[in-house]
Amino acid sequence: MRPHVVVIGGGFAGAAAASALTEAGVPVTLIEQRSTLGGRASSLKDGVTKEEVDNGQHFFLGSYRETRRFLRRLKVEDRLKFFPSLRIPFASAQGRRSELRCPSLPYSWGLAAGLLRHQELLFRDRWSLSRGFVSFRLRKIENLADLTVSQWLDRLRQTPGARRAFWTPLCLATLNEHPDAACAEALSSVLRQGFLGPSSDRRLGHSTVGLSKLWAMEFKAYLKRQEGVISHQQKVTGFRVSGSRVEKVLLESGEEVDVGTVICAVPLASFMKIRPEGLRDHYRELETETHSSILSIHLWFPRPFMDEPFVGLLDTNVQWVFDRHKMWENGGASPGSVTLVISGAAAFEKMTSEELVEMAMKDLRKCFPLLKDDPIHASVTWEKQATPSPSPDGWKRRPSVATPLENFFLAGDWVGPGLPATIEAACRSGHQAAKLAQAFFEKAASPQNITMTGVGTC
């Protein structure tokens, strides 16, 4: 029999794992609880306009090598648009416009040059940033895993202006958490892998289609060509374990699926509910994990008011505004349709949709004084468990892809050390899980193991 892998979860992590195994010639069955793919990075249809909106706008960086490898495998990498260099326009609550523009210089020189020219930074802010980056590169402060971002910035003697215009926006955008709660080591990993490497790594990009149209259709066709199977609307409730291996996947319907190996690529909260009995104690410390939410406010105006596809906002509750019409180049959004995003949005979870829209409009009018129109339609979407909160304790507890069960592997944005919960982390863990699953099967299917198994059962 050919090796068979069951992948649970149809988000970026599960799809990356399943497609990598398919590429290697390993038959795959992917089980997804919902009727659509994409997980926590997907789209939904607005009930009034019938236009798609993402459940959280996502940036992509040139350093997202595993994400781009996954999209390249499906021949859809060209649906990402990358800018030649890092350039982020900002608008403040005082109505000022500025930008962080980093030239194509290698390593830290490019970011340093951009920060020195950032109009929202005073001389003392630029000096504190320069001094802080020197200390960071020289690793003068160790044990960052034990510090919050705020504690780290205190030790780096960062000014309030440097935090306001650089550190806080960076922390919220990449970690989905506020500096007082986020782990310093998590932010330092973002700097090392995304901003202080080659200039090509700093290139900022975005999807030119809604996230549900980025790869889902091509993924289905890719698996089908290799006799892979996608089973939608099937809820996994647990596993049957024998010794050190998983033998069956249990479904809510009562069906039991035989497996050769399993890659569990579901969110952390879902994994904790269905994890195999033999792993209950091993992952017990993850039961206390908390999550950070993402709030998206979608507005439709009678006419466009932005010149850029996206703008970062300063001194406001809203952190980003995205012009969907400019970003989605295939006409997937009407002119004047925008999405406003707040990361680490727990403070707003008790507000009504009407209150959130009113708050967003106040922020928009401050940052865009020429905006006089009222929205003709508005909707609000929440992803309340968007990412595990990257606290110092949570960062140190991130589990590895391999588990104590020899044919059971994990994948997801919460899995594996070295990266915060991002699309890149999901794809990286998915590819690592696929590699381990393939190696397990090559070993299990070798003639020597087959012979030994036969002798043992005679």
In this predicted model, what pLDDT tens digit does every residue of 128-178 receive, in sequence order? 999 998 888 877 777 899 999 999 999 999 999 999 999 999 999 999 999
Residue pLDDT, tens place only, 200-218: 898 999 999 999 999 999 9
DSSP strand pairing (377-388 vs 310-314): unpaired
The model scores a pTM over 0.95 = no
Q: Which residues are registered as beta bridge partners of 245?
A: 242
Share of the chain above pLDDT 70, in %: 96
Report the pLDDT averaged over residues 221-244.
92
pLDDT band, very low/low/confident/very high, at 445 (cuts 50, 70, 90): low
Length of the chain: 458
Angstrom distance (rounded) from CA 47 to CA 397: 40
pLDDT band, very low/low/confident/very high, at 449 (cuts 50, 70, 90): low
Residue pLDDT, tens place only, 63-75: 999 999 999 999 9
Phi then psi for residue 387, to 5 deg, are -145, 150
Residue pLDDT, tens place only, 284-338: 999 999 999 999 999 999 999 999 999 999 999 999 999 999 999 877 899 999 9
Q: What is the pLDDT of residue 450?
A: 41
Q: What is the pLDDT of residue 105?
A: 83
Angstrom distance (rounded) from CA 93 to CA 419: 32
Indicate whether 448 pLDDT > 60: no
User: What number of CA atoms fall less than 13 Å from residue 285's CA on the CB side?
Assistant: 8
Angstrom distance (rounded) from CA 170 to CA 174: 6
Indicate whether 8 pLDDT > 90: yes
User: What number of CA atoms fall less than 13 Å from residue 383's CA on the CB side?
Assistant: 23
Contact present, 298 and 382 (Cβ < 8 Å): no
Indicate whether 99 pLDDT > 60: yes
Indicate whether 457 pLDDT > 80: no
Q: What does the H/E/C string look like for the chain? A: CCCCEEEECCCHHHHHHHHHHHHCCCCEEEECCCCCCCCCCCEEECCCCCCEEECCCCEEECCCHHHHHHHHHCCCHHHEEECCCCEEEEEECCCCEEEEECCCCCCHHHHHHHHHCCCCCCHHHHHHHHHHHHHHHCCCCCCHHHCEHHHHHHHCCCCHHHHHHHHHHHHHHHHCCCCCCCEHHHHHHHHHHHHCCCHHHHCEEEECCCHHHCCHHHHHHHHHHCCCEEECCCCEEEEEEECCEEEEEEECCCCEEECCEEEECCCHHHHHHHCCHHHCCCCHHHHHCCEEEEEEEEEECCCCCCCCCEEEEECCCCCEEEEHHHHCCCCCCCCCEEEEEEECCHHHCCCCHHHHHHHHHHHHHHHCCCCCCCCCEEEEEEEEEEEECCCHHHHHCCCCCECCCCCEEECCCCCCCCCCCCHHHHHHHHHHHHHHHHHHHHHHCCHHHHHHHHHHHC
Indicate whether 453 pLDDT > 60: no
Indicate whether 458 pLDDT > 60: no
Indicate whether 222 pLDDT > 70: yes
CATH tag, 5-38+211-289+391-451:
3.50.50.60
- Two tokens, residue 397: 């507890």
Indicate whether 225 pLDDT > 90: no
Weakest-pLDDT range from 1-10, 186-195, 200-209, 409-418 = 1-10
Phi then psi for residue 258, to 5 deg, are -70, 140
| Structure-token match 């010149």, residue found | 307
Weakest-pLDDT range from 98-107, 118-127, 235-244 = 98-107
| Structure-token match 């998915």, residue found | 430
* Fold of the 291-388 domain: Polyamine Oxidase; Chain A, domain 2 (3.90.660)
CATH 3.90.660.10 segments of the chain: 291-388
pLDDT band, very low/low/confident/very high, at 447 (cuts 50, 70, 90): low
pLDDT band, very low/low/confident/very high, at 199 (cuts 50, 70, 90): confident
Contact present, 90 and 100 (Cβ < 8 Å): yes
Residue pLDDT, tens place only, 17-63: 999 999 998 889 999 999 999 998 999 999 999 999 998 889 999 99
What is the residue type of 265? A
Indicate whether 454 pLDDT > 50: no
Contact present, 332 and 288 (Cβ < 8 Å): no
CATH 3.50.50.60 segments of the chain: 5-38+211-289+391-451
Look over the chain and give the mean of its residue pLDDT values, rounded to a whole number: 92
Share of the chain above pLDDT 90, in %: 80
Pick the more confident residue, 85 or 359. Answer: 359
